[in-house]
Each structure stands twice: as structure tokens, then as C-alpha cells.
């Protein structure tokens, strides 16, 4: 059986762990119960025993605490090691999501602050298997989501392998940077609490994953959207050194929060929670209910009308969705850290989709507004100074995009938010390290879901890379494509090289900007120079890919 403990050893561990039976979240032990245990689902972590669930050939362990609940005086501090527990902890279900809004447009609070848990799916036949490990950071703009979004049992069957996911603090709880909090931190750090959670989870993997049949020396770190951003921040952070050996990012870059936005968000936040002028600012902030904190201006679309400086038109904004330079987690911007060669230089795959902004445009009903060129230009002018808006309009004329001003807008915003920052990042990284970097582009139009024809927009590649689809959702060709993509990902975890006889994928070079196209029917197809001229022109206008949406 998987991860089998010998009876004598199990009895010893149960005796050690049997103090305080019957506490919340723990299973009381007795001799009859111990005799009935499925030993293949029991693993001893450094904090105590956990009992998982057999899912076909995979055993899953969910909701394992990796840090203390960040509540009370631990709110807005670095995570601390979880307390040990007696007995066997039930690991059959996901932990609570971290406190967040119901959606970016719905300010109803959900989740809990007691949320720092980790999940493991293992395909190991024994604890000595030494399988490669893929640690996934969920997306959701660093404002939403949780590790319960995906069950990775199907992905763990590829290889086989060990898959890990975790919850981390999001929104104001994870990314509020405030000088009063920095003053109390031993490292002067503030603003990157969600990233510190991810680092703590990676430390848990290093201490424990071998007990689940994983190899701590072969840890592929990756994520999509905000999870990709966080992965790239961890590549730059000195605190993550040695915690992973390869990286995989989907649809984001290393842009961080501009300092002016960080400072403005803190100023507006303390006024919103009625702490302005408080004698003990940090204590005042921590005294506020999570239901109030989560509604702060800039947490999604919540509260933006509270202060005019929070609007996009102000050029300043209020946001909690990106990491920031704090001198500790990030001594400098990721771009400068990598340029200086002071990053964690590991093999990397960077992937994006051909039409990233499709879903965002439709979510905001812009398809009802951008119906002609005049409306297209008007929307640009709402977002940018007139000179910049006019330049974008000329660079991306509707005549070049099927005479569709909506499509031209989608491509333009996709380049500004994703493709051009990615190109800049790949150019710098490929020249700053010997470890190779690979670039990918998702181009497939998915035939399923709503609407039935989904263009290659943001997140439409997730089911294919990560095998999170239902079997009925894919055609035969799409299933083949997913098998190729998931197999390539796990091969990358095994060997840190995604190439094979079927996937002749050259490493990225700044000289040719080569990328591999993933589409159906599956075939080896390379592309080069993805809108190089437009990206160069945007840089000449003054776009800075070091910070998020900054124009100088």
C-alpha cells in the first residue's frame, strides 16, 4: 500500500501523538480504531500525523496547517510555524479560504483569517519514491481564490508526481503595506504577507515532502495569473533561495506595485477603517473586524468611490493585488534584482495566452461600448493621458484586427498588461542567467464551456496544462493536447527540460524572441517576434515594465 507504516512504528507514533484526544479537528484514537486504519493514507509530518484519502491510484491530503492562524496580534506579521497536534489529524477536506470578497464586484465577505493550510496529492508507491514535486500557487488577482479551486489528482497521475497547493493571505490581509506595520517588524518589512506565506509553505515542502514520496531537490514552483506574478517575485526574493529548483509562470510578469500606489493605498486604508491619527496605529488597524478590512478601497472594485485618488484616472490608485519593494522580501524590484544577477537562477517556462484580456473586456460589458473607432478611442482616453491614448490608438488600428475596434482594444491591453512585460522579462532573464528560459503561447480556441467558442483568453489554458477539466469537456484532439501539455509540465519537473522528440522547443533568446505555440491539432510550431514593433513603440511612449501600468 502507499506510504505504508509498519504496525510497530505506527503504534509508537500513535503513542507519541495521543496526548489530548478529541480536540477540534483531530480524530480521537483507541486500539480498535487504530487497528482499522488504512495505513496507506497515514503520513507523519513534522507537526503530527495526518490521514488522507485514497483517490484511485492517488492519495490526497488536504487542509494541513503549515503556519499558525494569522489572527489578533499575528495579523500583518510574517507567518509562524504551526503548532503540533496530538492524534491523527483528518486531512480529507480543504481548509477555509483566506478572508476575501465574494467576487471582484461583490463586496460580501467570505472565508476566514485562519486559513494557512497546504494540500498534497501523491502518486508515490512508497515514501522512498523520490518523485518530482510541483507546487502550485493559485491565481485570483491576489484578491480572491483558494487552493480548493482545483483538485490535482489527475495531474498527480502524470509521471507520476507529487502536487502541492496552498492557501495564502490575499487582498488587504496579504498585501497591505503600512509604515506602522513596518516599524514593528524585526526586518522592517511590510506589504508582502501573502508572499511570506508562500515562502513558509515552500519551507514546509522542504521539511515534509519526502514523507509523501516527493524529492525536495526537484521542486517545480508555478502558478497562473497572480500565482505567476508571485512565482516571479519568489525567483527574485533572497528569502526563497534553495526552496525550489525550477519555475513555471502562466499569464503574468514581475511588475510590482509603484511606490506612489503603495503609499496612497496605506493612507486611504487607515482613513477608511477610522484609524487616522491613532496614537497606536498598528494596534488600531489590527482591532478592525475582517468584515471591514475586506471592504477597503482597492480590494477589487470595493470602495473605490471613497477617495478620488483611488480611481484609475488619478494615475495613483489604491490596490492590494501585487507585491511591493519592502527591502526584505524584495530588496529591489524583480527586474533590477535579476539584472544584477542576484536572483534564484533556475530553469523557467513562461506561458501566456494569445488574447489575455478577452474575459475582462466581456466581464465589464465593453463589447457593448466599443462598437466603433470613436468609442475605442474614448475608452482609451478614460484610462490614459490623451497623448498616450492617441498613440495606442495609432499602434493598434482596428483595420489591422479584422476591422474590429473591440479586438484591437483586447490586443492592445493584452500587450500592455501581459505580452510586452513578458517580452521585457524574458529578454532580461535569458541574458542574466545560464539556466535556460522557455517561452510559450496558448493559441487554441476551446470548443466547450460558455460561450461555446472560447478564444485563447486569460485562464483558458489552465484545464489543459493542469488537467483540471471534466472528461466530457474535451474533444479527442483536445485531450491529446492536454496530455502533451501536462506531460511536458511534469517532464519539466523531472528533468528541468521540457524538450522531447515531439516537442522540439528551443530556449528563448532575445535575438529572435522564439516561443512555442500550443494549439489543436497538436503539432510542433514555433513563432517569433510577437508584436515586437508595438512593444518597442510602447516603451518609447514611456511604458515601464518594472512597475504595474506605469507611464513616465
Model confidence over 335-390: pLDDT tens digits? Answer: 999 999 999 999 999 999 999 988 888 777 888 899 999 999 999 998 888 999 99
- Output 37 or 399, whichever has higher pLDDT: 399
Q: Is 339 inside any structural domain?
A: no
**Shared-domain flag, residues 152 and 20:** yes
The packing angle between helices 405-414 and 373-383, to 10°, is 30
Cell of 330: 524584495
- The per-residue pLDDT for range 111-131, each reduced to its tens digit, is 999 999 999 999 998 888 999
Q: What is the pLDDT of residue 357?
A: 87
**Average model confidence (pLDDT) across the chain:** 89
Query: Cα angle vertex 549, ends 338, 362, to 5°?
Result: 120
- Output 25 or 550, whichever has higher pLDDT: 550
Beta bridge partners of 219: 133
Q: Is 1 inside any structural domain?
A: no
**Shared-domain flag, residues 267 and 242:** no
**42-51, 285-294, 504-513: least confidently modelled range:** 504-513
pLDDT at 483 over 70: yes
Q: What is the pLDDT of residue 1?
A: 37
Mean pLDDT (whole number) for 401-407: 95
Q: Is 13 inside any structural domain?
A: yes
**Shared-domain flag, residues 91 and 44:** yes
Q: What is the pLDDT of residue 362?
A: 77
Cell of 62: 488536504
Residues of the chain with pLDDT > 70, as a percent, come to 90
CA–CA distance, 198 with 192 (Å, rounded to integer): 10
Q: Is 159 inside any structural domain?
A: yes
**Shared-domain flag, residues 288 and 391:** no
Are residues 214 and 132 in contact, defined by beta-carbon separation less than 8 angstroms?
A: yes
Mean pLDDT (whole number) for 208-220: 97
**Shared-domain flag, residues 291 and 179:** no
Query: Cα angle vertex 141, ends 140, 147, to 5°?
Result: 30
**Shared-domain flag, residues 305 and 227:** no
**Shared-domain flag, residues 376 and 300:** no
Helix (H) / strand (E) element for 437: namely: strand 437-442
Q: Is 324 inside any structural domain?
A: no
CA–CA distance, 284 with 286 (Å, rounded to integer): 5
Cell of 109: 465577505
Q: Which of 229, 250, 271 is a domain's end point? A: 250
Q: What is the pLDDT of residue 508?
A: 93
**Shared-domain flag, residues 246 and 267:** no
pLDDT band for position 514 (cuts 50, 70, 90): confident
Place of cell 483536445: 478
CA–CA distance, 449 with 472 (Å, rounded to integer): 11
Q: What is the pLDDT of residue 29?
A: 40
CA–CA distance, 197 with 199 (Å, rounded to integer): 5
pLDDT at 11 over 80: no
Q: What is the pLDDT of residue 176?
A: 98
Q: How far is CA 380 from CA 357, 375, 385, 510, in A?
A: 14, 9, 9, 30
Going by C-beta distance under 8 Å and a sequence separation of 6 or more, which residues neighbour residue 325?
256, 259, 331, 332, 333
Q: What is the pLDDT of residue 374?
A: 97
Q: Which of 290, 314, 338 is a domain's end point? A: 314
Q: What is the pLDDT of residue 448?
A: 61
Are residues 517 and 525 in contact, defined by beta-carbon separation less than 8 angstroms?
A: yes
**Shared-domain flag, residues 243 and 277:** no
**Shared-domain flag, residues 128 and 201:** yes
**Which CATH number goes with the domain that contains 26?**
3.40.50.1820
CA–CA distance, 368 with 361 (Å, rounded to integer): 10
- Output 514 or 328, whichever has higher pLDDT: 328
Q: Where are the alpha helices (DSSP H) in 186-307?
A: 193-208, 226-236, 259-272, 281-286, 290-293
- The per-residue pLDDT for range 436-473, each reduced to its tens digit, is 999 999 998 876 655 456 788 999 999 999 999 887 78
Are residues 212 and 152 in contact, defined by beta-carbon separation less than 8 angstroms?
A: no
Q: Is the dihedral of CA 214, 92, 197, 496 positive or negative?
A: positive
Into how many domains does the chain fold? 3
Are residues 34 and 14 in contact, defined by beta-carbon separation less than 8 angstroms?
A: yes
pTM of the complete model: 0.92
Cell of 88: 491523527
Q: Is 147 inside any structural domain?
A: yes
**Shared-domain flag, residues 301 and 364:** no
Nearest of 51, 54, 43, 52 to residue 3 by alpha carbon: 43
pLDDT band for position 522 (cuts 50, 70, 90): low
SS3 category, 102: strand
Q: Is 322 inside any structural domain?
A: no
Q: Is 429 inside any structural domain?
A: yes
- The per-residue pLDDT for range 157-178, each reduced to its tens digit, is 998 999 999 999 999 999 999 9
Q: What is the pLDDT of residue 145?
A: 96
**Shared-domain flag, residues 132 and 52:** yes
CA–CA distance, 552 with 541 (Å, rounded to integer): 8
Beta bridge partners of 516: 440, 526
pLDDT at 13 over 50: no
- Output 272 or 13, whichever has higher pLDDT: 272
CA–CA distance, 216 with 210 (Å, rounded to integer): 7
Containing structural domain, residue 446: 350-545
Mean pLDDT (whole number) for 120-145: 94
pLDDT band for position 521 (cuts 50, 70, 90): low
Q: How many CB atoms lie within 10 A of CB 107?
A: 16
Q: Which of 231, 250, 269 is a domain's end point? A: 250
CA–CA distance, 62 with 53 (Å, rounded to integer): 9
- The per-residue pLDDT for range 226-263, each reduced to its tens digit, is 999 999 999 999 999 999 999 999 999 999 999 999 99
The number of residues in the chain equals 552
The region, left, alpha or beta by phi > 0 then psi within -120 to 50, assigned to residue 356 is: alpha
pLDDT band for position 2 (cuts 50, 70, 90): very low
CA–CA distance, 543 with 540 (Å, rounded to integer): 7
Amino acid at each position: 500500500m502507499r506510504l505504508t507504516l509498519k504496525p510497530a512504528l505506527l503504534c509508537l507514533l500513535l503513542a507519541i501523538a495521543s496526548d489530548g484526544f478529541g480536540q477540534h479537528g483531530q480524530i480521537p484514537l483507541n486500539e480498535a480504531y487504530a487497528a482499522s486504519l488504512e495505513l496507506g493514507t497515514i503520513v507523519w509530518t513534522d507537526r503530527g500525523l495526518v490521514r488522507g484519502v485514497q483517490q484511485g491510484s492517488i492519495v490526497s491530503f488536504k487542509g494541513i496547517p503549515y503556519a499558525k492562524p494569522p489572527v489578533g496580534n499575528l495579523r500583518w506579521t510574517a507567518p509562524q510555524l504551526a503548532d503540533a497536534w496530538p492524534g491523527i489529524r483528518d486531512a480529507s477536506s480543504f481548509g477555509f479560504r483566506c478572508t476575501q470578497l465574494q467576487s471582484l464586484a461583490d463586496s460580501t465577505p467570505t472565508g476566514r483569517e485562519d486559513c494557512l493550510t497546504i494540500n498534497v496529492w501523491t502518486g508515490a508507491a512508497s515514501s522512498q519514491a523520490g518523485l518530482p514535486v510541483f507546487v502550485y500557487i493559485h491565481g485570483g488577482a491576489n484578491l480572491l481564490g483558494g487552493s480548493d479551486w482545483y483538485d490535482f489528482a489527475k495531474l498527480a497521475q502524470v509521471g507520476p508526481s507529487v502536487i502541492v497547493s496552498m492557501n495564502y493571505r490575499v487582498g488587504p490581509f496579504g498585501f497591505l503595506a503600512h509604515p506602522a506595520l513596518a516599524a514593528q517588524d524585526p526586518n522592517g518589512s511590510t506589504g508582502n504577507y501573502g508572499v511570506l506565506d508562500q515562502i513558509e509553505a515552500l519551507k514546509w515542502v522542504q521539511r515534509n515532502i519526502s514523507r509523501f514520496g516527493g524529492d525536495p531537490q526537484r521542486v517545480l514552483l508555478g502558478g497562473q495569473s497572480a500565482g505567476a506574478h508571485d512565482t516571479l517575485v519568489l525567483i527574485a526574493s533572497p528569502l526563497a533561495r534553495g526552496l525550489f529548483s525550477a519555475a513555471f509562470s502562466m499569464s503574468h510578469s514581475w511588475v510590482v506595485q509603484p511606490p506612489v500606489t503603495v503609499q496612497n493605498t496605506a493612507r486611504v486604508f487607515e482613513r477608511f477603517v477610522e484609524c487616522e491619527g491613532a496614537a497606536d496605529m498598528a494596534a488600531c488597524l489590527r482591532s478592525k473586524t475582517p468584515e471591514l478590512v475586506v471592504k477597503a478601497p482597492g480590494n477589487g472594485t470595493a470602495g473605490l468611490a471613497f477617495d478620488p485618488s483611488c480611481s484609475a484616472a488619478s494615475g495613483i490608485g489604491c490596490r492590494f493585488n501585487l507585491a511591493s519593494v519592502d527591502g526584505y522580501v524584495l530588496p529591489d524590484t524583480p527586474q533590477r534584482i535579476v539584472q544584477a544577477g542576484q536572483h534564484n537562477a533556475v530553469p523557467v517556462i513562461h506561458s501566456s495566452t494569445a488574447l489575455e484580456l478577452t474575459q475582462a473586456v466581456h466581464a465589464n460589458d465593453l463589447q457593448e461600448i466599443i462598437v466603433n473607432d470613436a468609442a475605442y478611442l474614448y475608452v482609451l482616453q478614460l484610462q490614459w493621458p490623451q497623448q498616450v491614448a492617441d498613440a495606442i490608438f495609432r499602434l493598434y488600428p482596428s483595420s489591422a484586427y479584422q476591422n474590429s475596434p473591440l479586438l484591437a482594444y483586447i490586443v492592445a491591453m493584452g500587450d500592455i498588461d501581459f505580452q510586452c512585460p513578458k517580452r521585457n522579462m524574458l529578454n532580461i532573464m535569458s541574458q542574466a542567467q545560464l539556466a535556460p528560459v522557455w517561452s510559450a503561447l496558448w493559441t487554441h480556441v476551446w470548443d466547450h464551456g460558455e460561450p461555446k467558442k472560447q478564444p485563447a483568453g486569460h485562464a483558458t489554458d489552465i484545464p489543459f496544462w493542469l488537467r483540471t477539466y471534466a472528461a466530457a469537456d474535451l474533444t479527442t484532439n483536445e485531450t491529446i493536447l492536454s496530455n502533451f501539455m501536462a506531460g511536458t509540465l511534469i517532464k519539466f519537473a523531472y528533468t528541468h527540460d521540457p524538450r522531447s522528440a515531439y516537442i522540439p522547443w528551443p530556449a528563448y533568446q532575445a535575438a529572435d524572441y522564439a516561443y512555442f505555440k500550443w494549439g489543436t491539432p497538436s503539432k510542433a510550431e514555433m513563432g517569433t517576434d510577437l508584436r515586437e514593433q508595438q512593444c518597442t513603440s510602447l516603451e518609447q511612449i514611456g511604458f515601464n515594465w518594472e512597475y504595474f501600468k506605469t507611464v513616465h
